[in-house]
Chains A and B, each alone.
Chain A
Amino acid sequence: MSGEGFVIGVLGLQGAVREHLKSLEKCGVRGIEVKSTAELEMVQGLIVPGGESTAIRRLLDTADMVAPLIRFCQSARPIFGTCAGLILMARKLTGGENHNLGLMNIEVARNSFGRQVDSFETDLNISGFSEPFPAVFIRAPHIASVGSGVEVLATYQNRIVMVREKHLLGCSFHPELTGDERVTRYFVRMVQQSLVKSSQA
């Protein structure tokens, strides 16, 4: 796949950046750390990793990257948010917090499975996956409601934990911590499809 000449960025301001880069490498895709708008312009897809959503938002502000990220999203280039990344992508946060970027038509509730002692792993059924996926939930959020055009890909205990809306993908858990690359591959295919579409347009 690396021969096709596309690059996927991992927002590298804070969080589990290295794990996502490693997962991309295992999928045969070139990944780079994105810490600036200039680096954002070099990639055809972006992963917003897990970390602390408030800290990442603060660093996006000081790096003047909020408007460029919104433009990146409007240009239909795929974005995948995991955990904190999902929180940042939400249109609305439950409880009135406002550090989200409003990219995706979903409402997200933070820390909705409890504190760290309640963090857990489980085998999760994901729509379109033939085998369950080992999902790691760390102080995880969940998707409280979805707007039109959002497809629910996985639920756990009646809570939505993975969604897709056109070129946007989000999940509450951490596929990068498991060594199972199926979710990363799913996103890589989204990026490939977006490139085919834009070359046909």
Chain B
Amino acid sequence: MNEKKTGTDRVKRGMAEMQKGGVIMDVVNAQQAKIAEAAGAVAVMALERVPADIRKAGGVARMADPRIVEEVMASVSIPVMAKARIGHIAEARVLEAMGVDYIDESEVLTPADEEFHLLKSSFTVPFVCGCRDLGEACRRIGEGAAMLRTKGEPGTGNIVEAVRHMRRVNAQIRKVCGMSDDELMVEAKNLGAPYQILLEIKRLGRLPVVNFAAGGVATPADAALMMELGADGVFVGSGIFKSENPEKFARAIVQATTHYRDYKLIAEISKGIGTPMHGLEISGLAVADRMQERGV
């Protein structure tokens, strides 16, 4: 029998490759997970509260009750992701032991460690992490993240921060690709990025892992915008189940993500689906309420 290797970079990153062009939806119970799956979600994120409710509730946000995660895992055949606090080794190990398919080391939860992230390469389960620029992206890849997403500003229904982060990462990638190898070392210093990962980005002409949009997607047109800007797919947190009609929003956002340049179609599927989640203006948020500042 030939050797069988689990938890390799290829297996972890490959899992994220299979999610491309798809929508990953936040759910808080089995019923929502089933709605998401039926609408065509490629995965669900099982959590106790969606980001908009985490904002409202205040206090410390932690890993979800394992019973919720278990319930969601039992109810759908698509992959199930779950969130651990930044740097919370034990929460992440618990989720891994439960067999979740992907862990989001997420700034949506209250960080457990304000200095260090998880050494994700030491886990068998793959991780997704947020980033606002190429330095954050490369540090997370260096720690072993197999998938990235923009941080955006979770729970706001405001796309402006996700746009800022996606544009910034992609502009910085273009800059790196145009640099000579000897210039890259200084760029590595300036970005706070591992040199070897910048070399890999230059060789590939893109990030070595999939990069999704997250943090503010509330409408089908928001999803299409992020795909246009180069996202490999879309996370929708509060945008589905805080909208007036989650089933319709879920279906429409899935279609808009796939057919993101078919504007007639997007117009058609956006008709009469009800009111999107209520949005928040970013400048109205106190610095302490800006989740994107966590875990750089």
- A residues near B (Cβ < 8 Å) are 12-19, 35, 50-52, 54-55, 58-59, 62-63, 83-84, 97, 110-111, 114-125, 132, 136, 138-139, 157, 174, 177-178
Contacts and interface: CB of A to CB of B under 8 A. Distances in A.
Contacts of A139: 15, 18, 79, 101
B78 A54 contact: yes
A120 B124 CA distance: 10
Interface stretch (B36-44, B271-279, B288-296): B36-44
22 contacts: A16-B14, A16-B17, A17-B21, A50-B17, A52-B79, A54-B77, A55-B41, A55-B78, A59-B40, A116-B101, A116-B126, A119-B6, A120-B11, A121-B4, A121-B5, A122-B5, A136-B14, A138-B18, A139-B15, A139-B18, A139-B101, A174-B14
Chain A CB within 10 Å, residue with most, of B17, B96, B254, B259: B17
Contacts of A50: 17-18
Contacts of B101: 115-117, 139
A132 B2 contact: yes
B125 interface: yes
Given A111-B77, A120-B5, A55 B40 contact: yes
B196 interface: no
A49 B152 CA distance: 30
Given A14-B21, A19-B17, A117 B258 contact: no
Contact of A97 (B15, B38, B77, B102): B77
B99 interface: yes
Chain B CB within 10 Å, residue with most, of A58, A63, A97, A177: A58
Contacts of B251: 62
A19 B102 CA distance: 21
Chain B CB within 10 Å, residue with most, of A14, A17, A54, A121: A14
Interface residues of B, number: 41
A52 to B, nearest CB: 4
Contacts of A51: 18-22, 42
B3 interface: yes
7 closest Cβ pairs, A-B complex: A58-B40, A116-B101, A14-B21, A52-B42, A123-B2, A55-B40, A119-B11
Contacts of B99: 114-115, 117
B3 A138 contact: no
A122 to B, nearest CB: 5
B1 interface: yes
A35 B258 CA distance: 9
Contacts of B1: 157
A116 B79 contact: yes
Interface in B117-152: 124-126
A177 B15 contact: no
Contacts of A111: 77
Chain B CB within 10 Å, residue with most, of A17, A59, A114: A59
A177 B22 contact: no
A136 B4 CA distance: 10
Contact of A59 (B3, B6, B254): B254
A37 B4 CA distance: 40
Chain A CB within 10 Å, residue with most, of B2, B40, B101, B259: B40
A19 B37 CA distance: 25
A123 B42 contact: no
Given A83-B18, A117-B124, A136-B11, A55 B254 contact: yes
Contacts of B18: 15-16, 50-52, 83-84, 138-139, 174
